[in-house]
Chains A and B, each alone.
Chain A
Amino acid sequence: MPKPFDLARNQLERQYLDAQFAPASGLSKKELAAELARHRAENPNEPRIVTRAWLFRLLCSKGRIAVEPDDYFADKLEHHNLLIALREEWRREEERKEFKSDPPAIPGAYAAILDVGHTCPDWRNLLRYGFTGLRDRAAARSGVFYEAVAMVYDAAVTLVKRFAAALPNSAMAALAERPPQTFHEALQLAYLYHELQEMEDGYSVRSMGRFDQLYCRFYADDLKAGRLTCDQAKELLKYFWVKFFAKTRGKLFGKPFLFGPEVNELSYLAFDVYREMQIVDPKLHVRLGDRTPKDFLEKVVGCIQAGCTGIVTVNDAAQVEMLRQSGKTLEDARDYILIGCYEPAVMGQELNCSGACGLNLAKAVERVLASGDHASFDDLMAAYLRILDSQIALAADKVRREERLWPRVSPSPLLSGAMDSCLERGLDVSQGGAKYNTSGCTAVGLANAADSLAVIKQLVYEEQRCILAELRAALGANWKGHEELRLTARSRVPKWGNNDDLVDGIAVKITDFLGKRINHEPNARGGVFQAALYGIIVTAKAFGKLTGALPDGRLAGEPLTMNTGATPGMDKNGVTSLINSVTKLNLSQFPMGTVLDILLHPSVASGPEGIQTISSIIQSHFAQGGMAIQFNIFDAALLREAQRHPEKYANLQVRVCGWNVRFADLAPEEQEIFITKAEAA
């Protein structure tokens, strides 16, 4: 019997660092690699999906395993990332052939990749059929694709049997024979599937599905049958969720679980557990709508208030409508989950590849200034949009070429086997087997671009304080020697996020252009690109490094702004004005997701009144057309103190962008971004 969670927590958080894989339980990395090499030599013309499935089976049947008697779940298989190594070998080979004669890309203008990580299986199928059922479903049909699917699910059953033998665990024994029937079995299956997916496609931010909708029947049945108490369910959930933290140690991304819009007893229980755990992973996404009960909203907001920054709330009605407009059936639109940070997709029906490309809106400002003089601001704005247009064309083209390589780089029989449409069509996800095949294109640095263009409009064309050439010279010198002009640009021109029509109007122009330009661009998998408006810190820093000084006063190399927020410290009119600015944008043009970050001072957000304040902010944002919102609640003094004494504030969390982390785990320059924001608030 495992210990109470609180007593075991320290070990559980270290479980992947400390895992001991018994040598007797399987082959070493060298031996596994040798078997793979032999197999490939003997089968030189084997379809790649079969080679991957074969390797998957090798790892499941002969990889070393570790079991922990003090755990409710078993999941540790030593796979040495061999499937990923194989994928990367193929990727290098294919990309070399495809891209070798390409001219060099414009540094920092866009990023375009093959995104195989933003996925979500149809969790319903997993829970309905189990590994055995999904194996049998594929085995009943013939062809290379079905063979590969049956092989990986059979391998999963083999692995389940090995775990069951190593650790007398009733959940495991059951899953070797049939679909899950209890809450424990369902969680065990979900976690093992999660691990196998990571083994197949690498670490990424996949969705864990609509948690309360999927798992409540198991929980309720257990309670009814007297197999489980509420407290035992909490313990199971804690042992389950802590694994997600143990995987990331709070440092990167994390996995989202979705709640609502209909809620049930499990929704409430889950938020109680989450609040008790005070943990940065996993992430909980909540679909909020008119039907959300008030007490549930208060529970969610209470968690946010208590410092659980892993929560994002989304505007359910608006999201459903947006998905309908982007071509989904109503039934499918209602069944959306959020993949990655906030990227909507139909659960198990859509492969949204939301991370396919990123577009640097600020780089285009730099480029339009370099492009020469323009007679009017309208001319300059038109030239700016033409540059964006060309950046989008180049990025989309690169993604399409990458996507055409996908079947030869990374077929995913495990994921495909859990998606109905792949099964019906006999096509792997890499071949466009999903019902909806979309690719994301997210625009980064909206505040930088809008603020910079506003500076040009006001100082150059309206007030004629300087000519473009002077501004160009100042930026070329990284503002050195032009401090007065820089201060004028910073403090005398309105900034995005203050409900000012001059600069907000520019942001509206940019975003309307993006929606029109991106949303119907075809991808190479039979679907289309979809626009997104968020920028995670990784992209904001990477693009920022490659972007020179900007008219908004930003220095060369500094990170770009994240998501839809203002430049740190520049949203001086506060939260309501920021929301008023952001909701001037037609956000339904961003079906691949967008989010607003809100920073509140504790004096505004404390106590029972604070819960009402936060709830009202969420509801007001949604009433004005906002799509998703996330919170940080702290003051600058607390952050400074935490910077000086990380040991005392080990559990202080901050919402960074698409994910949240412990403040202490941020780099000093990243910490500064939040301190600047908090000081301004």
Chain B
Amino acid sequence: MKGHLLDIKRLSVHDGPGIRTTVFLKGCPLQCRWCHNPESVSSKPEIGFLKKKCLGCGRCAKVCPTGAHVFRDGTHSLNHELCNACGKCVEACLADALEYYGREMSVAEAAAAVLEDRTFYAKSGGGCTLSGGEPMLQAGFCAELFKLLRKEGIHCAMDTSGAVAWETFETVLPYTDLFLYDVKHTDDRLHREHTGSSNRMILDNLRRLSERGVPIEIRIPTIPGFNADEESMAATGKPLSGLPNIVGVRLLPYHLARLKYEAVGHADTMPHLAPPTPALMARLRQALTSAGYQGPAVCSMLE
């Protein structure tokens, strides 16, 4: 079985306990406006163009079968509409200015890449995290990979938006040690407006998942103009308080990734607001607790 990967990130310390390797899978059912991995949204392969690194040598244009690479007045641009993501230009580019998002990898290859760092997992209590995109859009791949890794004693965490059909959870549940579960907002209207989807299935899935005995860490991206206020946070904390198996809540401060939108040629939808300050993050953490959520709450940012 093969998966479509964005990236493999090693020494990952914010995606579950200990030192981990995070495997990013391509494709996502949501369209969050603040997404900092815009290259992960589409399930199809894409070429990213990092203008800063381009040397203007033109090797890419020479090999491009669709004429997507255009050099005009000394400026190089990539016409993403013409691009069929064949990847020839990525091979030709010697300056690492072009990246291929969505390379295929077999379960065995991915497992081998993860196992390279097993000493680090053993010493730190870490493991492997699947993220994305929404990794569970490739649930079969996830399940096979986790199955293999668990045989090797590797701790497996699934970083999910929860926006997939419940049956998908059943596929991966037997092999997952921890879910990192995104909860963005409890207000459905706002959720639709900012992510393109309702939150109903996400919250339903969370309730069902919490009854299955696998630990869940809730992750709340805190986005100015969406949920980075005490009221939203309190509302989000309320339903969490009654759920079993929630081992913690982590607030993830919004950060900018505009260059990535430019690289993959997507319209930049990121809010034009300053990232939350440490002081605000501290207040939000408190709001969560005062609303009834009594478990551990941390913030992925030094306050």
Residues of A within 8 A of B (CB): 484, 487-488, 490-492, 499, 573-577, 580, 604, 606-607, 609, 612-613, 616-617, 619-620, 623-624
Collect the chain B residues with CB atoms within 8 Å of residue A490's CB: 94
Say yes or no: B95 contacts A576, CB within 8 Å: no
- Rounded to whole Å, the gap between the CB of A609 and the closest CB of chain B is 7
- Rounded to whole Å, the gap between the CB of B162 and the closest CB of chain A is 25
Cα separation A499 to B124 with both chains bound (whole Å): 20
Partner of B94, one of A488, A573, A617: A488
B123 within 8 A of A: yes
Cα separation A372 to B50 with both chains bound (whole Å): 41
Given A574-B10, A604-B13, A613-B19, A624 and B119 contact (CB-CB distance below 8 Å): yes
Collect the chain A residues with CB atoms within 8 Å of residue B229's CB: none
Cα separation A491 to B97 with both chains bound (whole Å): 11
Contact with A along B20-43 (1 / 0, CB 8 A): 010000000000000000000000
Extra pairs beyond A613-B13, A616-B120, A620-B123 (11, CB < 8 Å)? A488-B94, A490-B94, A575-B10, A575-B11, A576-B19, A577-B116, A612-B18, A612-B124, A613-B19, A620-B124, A623-B122
Collect the chain B residues with CB atoms within 8 Å of residue A620's CB: 19, 119-120, 122-124
- List 7 A–B pairs whose Cβ atoms lie within 8 Å, in order of A's numbering: A490-B94, A577-B116, A577-B117, A609-B13, A620-B122, A623-B122, A623-B123
Cα separation A580 to B123 with both chains bound (whole Å): 14
- Rounded to whole Å, the gap between the CB of A483 and the closest CB of chain B is 8
Say yes or no: B124 contacts A576, CB within 8 Å: no
Partner of A573, one of B10, B19, B96, B120: B10
- Rounded to whole Å, the gap between the CB of A307 and the closest CB of chain B is 15
Collect the chain B residues with CB atoms within 8 Å of residue A491's CB: 94-96
**Interchain residue pairs A-B with the least CB separation, the first 3:** A616-B124, A487-B94, A619-B123
Contact with A along B47-88 (1 / 0, CB 8 A): 000000001010000000000000000000000000000000
Say yes or no: B18 contacts A607, CB within 8 Å: no
Collect the chain A residues with CB atoms within 8 Å of residue B120's CB: 576, 616-617, 620
Partner of A576, one of B10, B18, B96: B10
Collect the chain B residues with CB atoms within 8 Å of residue A487's CB: 55, 94-95
Question: Closest residue to A489 on the B side, CB-wise?
Answer: B94
Collect the chain B residues with CB atoms within 8 Å of residue A624's CB: 119
Question: Closest residue to B8 on the A side, CB-wise?
Answer: A573
Say yes or no: A606 contacts B302, CB within 8 Å: yes
Collect the chain A residues with CB atoms within 8 Å of residue B57's CB: 484
Cα separation A290 to B302 with both chains bound (whole Å): 31
Say yes or no: A492 contacts B116, CB within 8 Å: no
Say yes or no: B94 contacts A484, CB within 8 Å: yes
Collect the chain A residues with CB atoms within 8 Å of residue B94's CB: 484, 487-488, 490-492
Cα separation A580 to B94 with both chains bound (whole Å): 26
- Rounded to whole Å, the gap between the CB of B249 and the closest CB of chain A is 16
Collect the chain B residues with CB atoms within 8 Å of residue A573's CB: 10
- Rounded to whole Å, the gap between the CB of A463 and the closest CB of chain B is 13
Cα separation A613 to B16 with both chains bound (whole Å): 13
Collect the chain B residues with CB atoms within 8 Å of residue A574's CB: 10-11
Collect the chain B residues with CB atoms within 8 Å of residue A499's CB: 116
- Rounded to whole Å, the gap between the CB of B94 and the closest CB of chain A is 4
Cα separation A613 to B124 with both chains bound (whole Å): 7
Cα separation A309 to B96 with both chains bound (whole Å): 33
Given A575-B11, A613-B19, A607 and B119 contact (CB-CB distance below 8 Å): no
Question: Closest residue to A618 on the B side, CB-wise?
Answer: B123
Question: Closest residue to A613 on the B side, CB-wise?
Answer: B13
Collect the chain B residues with CB atoms within 8 Å of residue A576's CB: 10-11, 19, 21, 116-117, 120
Cα separation A248 to B19 with both chains bound (whole Å): 38
Tell which of B10, B123, B124 has the most Cβ of chain A within 10 Å: B123
Cα separation A449 to B21 with both chains bound (whole Å): 30
Cα separation A580 to B117 with both chains bound (whole Å): 8
Collect the chain B residues with CB atoms within 8 Å of residue A580's CB: 116-117
Question: Closest residue to A624 on the B side, CB-wise?
Answer: B119
Question: Closest residue to A484 on the B side, CB-wise?
Answer: B94
- Rounded to whole Å, the gap between the CB of A120 and the closest CB of chain B is 32
- Rounded to whole Å, the gap between the CB of B231 and the closest CB of chain A is 28
Cα separation A617 to B122 with both chains bound (whole Å): 11
Collect the chain A residues with CB atoms within 8 Å of residue B122's CB: 620, 623
- Rounded to whole Å, the gap between the CB of B213 and the closest CB of chain A is 26
Cα separation A606 to B14 with both chains bound (whole Å): 11
Partner of A604, one of B11, B96, B126: B11
Cα separation A613 to B122 with both chains bound (whole Å): 12
Say yes or no: B95 contacts A616, CB within 8 Å: no
- Rounded to whole Å, the gap between the CB of B247 and the closest CB of chain A is 15
- Rounded to whole Å, the gap between the CB of B167 and the closest CB of chain A is 35
